[in-house]
Chain A
Amino acid sequence: AQKVTQAQTEISVVEKEDVTLDCVYETRDTTYYLFWYKQPPSGELVFLIRRNSFDEQNEISGRYSWNFQKSTSSFNFTITASQVVDSAVYFCALSATFSGGYQKVTFGTGTKLQVIP
């Protein structure tokens, strides 16, 4: 069974502050993938990043950075110098490939981020 926990339901920060969104996962698979998605009020899921279980290198993309630690089963997401446009619900997700060759994605419950001007 797969499980993703996002303990932070809602976070409010003032613009230009840094903010970290936490994600803890559980899986018995040795090969799996972790993701972060952004869902703005319009509802569309926007893909942000994918990491596989063998790559623990942290990644930085502009103001976004991700910290993957297998030892603690965590995949945290940090936004540096937050902006109002970052306001959205952010989902952490976990996926493993089933024998049929398709993915089953398990989403966390999401963290609603509000960036206050």
Chain B
Amino acid sequence: DAMVIQNPRYQVTQFGKPVTLSCSQTLNHNVMYWYQQKSSQAPKLLFHYYDKDFNNEADTPDNFQSRRPNTSFCFLDIRSPGLGDAAMYLCATSRKKTSGYNEQFFGPGTRLTVL
């Protein structure tokens, strides 16, 4: 089945140790999104890619970076994780359209723990 896959589902890292989260999709969608969801909070958009064009939200910390080497994969890099970065990270994809709605398909998320 076509889907959005996130690996790993659970990631533990140490304070300050760089970590990379992975997202892949078989939907051939040209837009990919990364959301951060802290405990008991709503998902918050960090950035998105339209093809290779990177779009950062204004309030996304510099500590968060992203790479999209091809259509199928997108990575979230946290350069120096702090305790406050512990959260669920959700990847989503959509197809770009000039009108109408482009449904976002969400992956299962990666729950990041920072020790």
Contact = CB atoms under 8 A, between A and B. Distances in A.
Whether both chains belong to one complex is answered with yes
Interface of A: 33, 42-45, 47, 50, 52, 91, 95, 97, 100-105, 107-110
Interface in B38-88: 40-45, 48, 50, 55, 88
A53 to B, nearest CB: 10
Contact of A50 (B42, B43, B50, B101): B101
Nearest to B32: A102
Interface residues on B, range: 20 to 34
B104 A103 contact: yes
B18 to A, nearest CB: 23
Interface in B6-64: 31, 40-45, 48, 50, 55
Contacts of A101: 31, 50, 96-98, 102
Contacts of B109: 43-45
A100 B90 CA distance: 22
B102 A91 contact: no
Given A42-B108, A43-B109, A43-B111, A102 B102 contact: yes
Contact of A100 (B44, B45, B50, B99): B50
A107 B104 CA distance: 13
A45 B106 contact: yes
